[in-house]
Amino acid sequence: MLRLYFLLILTLTLALTVFSADKYSRDDFPPGFIFGAATSAYQVEGAAREDGRTPSIWDTFSHGGGDVAVDEYHKYKEDVQLMAETGLEAYRFSISWSRLIPDGRGPLNPKGLEYYNNLINELISHGIQAHASLYNFDHPQSLEDEYGGWLSRNIVRDFTAYADVCFREFGDRVSSWSTINEPNVFAVGGYDQGTVPPGRCSYPFGNCSKGDSSTEPYLAAHNMLLAHSSTVRLYKNKYQSKQHGVIGITLYAFWLLPLSNSTEDINAAGRARDFFFGWILNPLVFGDYPEIMKKNAGLRLPVLANQESELVKGAFDFIGLIHYTTVYVMDSSKSLKLENRDFNADMAVALFFDQDGDVPFGLFSSEYPLRPWGLQGILEYFKQAYGNPPIYIHENGQVSPHISSLEDASRVEYLHAYIGSVLDAIRNGSDTRGYFVWSFLDVIEIFGGKESSYGLYFVDMDDPRLPRLPKKSAYWYSNFLKGGKVGSDGTFELEESLGESSSDAIVSVG
């Protein structure tokens, strides 16, 4: 009853919330707050077959779609220069395990080691903090072939050893480490629906050549939690006191609201939060999986033994969040009557992009609905449900078709609104410490490939030179970072130019 009351009050509070931080500047954020932008290795580096790198599961899944990407491997100096001109305070990138340790364990690749040292040194020399992610859907294919990757406990040992190398070689210059990116989405997409690497699923939940959707998502996520926790303990025991960095894990986080005010839909929204967020956060904060997951998944959900619970509980300095929009939740408890169930059937909800229930989740392909109060809602929920942990927003941005137009006014509007919502949440007590735009450049997207775009900088992927050109959003973000006062309409005068497209005098959301 208390839980239901909490959800009702929270929903009502959000419904009445007015977006208030519509006029703000960089200086309104607390001291130490970091603004940056993000990419990931497979989506941006290219050079997939060069200098000793071996295939990852993402290479196999995409059939080489990221072989070139946007070639940051060769253009990192140019890109870091752009970051400095933009005014980025931090850059969040991921390390390719198969570039650094081609066989997954054993000898290091000197060229891979050299590349990441060069990238980090270049960032530091330009006054940009290095925030590194150890894993983004891309363990070496050799480990997948040898023992099934995240389906085996062996990966806990190998991932921890890989992390040890990264801490030893780069940790003196890395401010923040994230162990695993989106373990919740990766487990469902990779092992239930087959929509992301390694592309495993079973009928009727997907059309894959191998997999078991009813058990593998839970097993993979369990091993990810153990690997994360083992890695965090290693960092804290061996490196943190000397290197003074922080370490955490990064979740994908829709804000989830009930489609109606019925008791069934309100309970469904709470259940969805437990499945999406609690799957990872409950073990980290409380030492065990949510009760509703244990009830609905039964013996298919691995048990956290006492020793594992002690290892996992408290194994973070921060929680990273990846958020793009809010979705609406409708009860679908009838799925619990199915004999063969997967994660979604156990969760027993239907998800919709619109409040009328007309646009099912997964069919939305254009811009994200502008719902900045949803990000504020997540931050408030994490504050109340999980003890207000330190949070970095590791990805937030607007998708659009990948076209040559640099007039991305909708992205400017999106950034203006969502950054303002972060400020609102901080003023309401959220311990949010950083914000990263996804993405710094147009990259190879896991959904949409070259057809969709999130970048502040346009990359012409049909031009072999892969030139980078600033969009309107790059100008807007740059001027915000450099102290420009954002008006209520998202407009301010430009004070500095970026690259070749510097003729505009005003950046506006309109």
Residues in the chain: 510
HEC profile for 276-332? HHHHHHHHHHHCCCCHHHHHHHHHHCCCCCHHHHHHHCCCCCEEEEECCCEEEEEEC
Measured in whole angstroms, the distance separating CA 90 from the mean position of its chain's CA atoms is: 16
Structure-block tokens of residue 236 = 């804290």
Residues 68, 13 contacting (CB under 8 angstroms): no
Active site residue 395: yes
Percent helix, percent strand, percent coil in the chain, to nearest 5:
45, 15, 40
Active site residue 144: no
User: In sequence order, which residues have a C-beta less than 8 Å from that of residue 392 and are 6 or more positions away?
Assistant: 34, 131, 176, 248, 250, 318, 319, 320, 321, 432, 433, 434, 435, 436
User: What ranges in 20-103 are assigned the alpha helix state H?
Assistant: 41-44, 57-62, 72-86, 97-100
The type of residue at 349 is: V
Q: Which of 45, 72, 144, 395 is catalytic?
A: 395
User: What ranges in 171-262 are assigned the alpha helix state H?
Assistant: 183-191, 216-238, 240-243
H-helix or E-strand spanning residue 342: none
Report the alpha-carbon distance of residue 119 to residue 297 in Å, rounded. Answer: 44
Report the alpha-carbon distance of residue 379 to residue 422 in Å, rounded. Answer: 8
Report the alpha-carbon distance of residue 102 to residue 251 in Å, rounded. Answer: 27
Q: Which of 182, 216, 380, 413 is catalytic?
A: 182
The type of residue at 314 is: G
> Mind telling me the catalytic residues?
182, 395
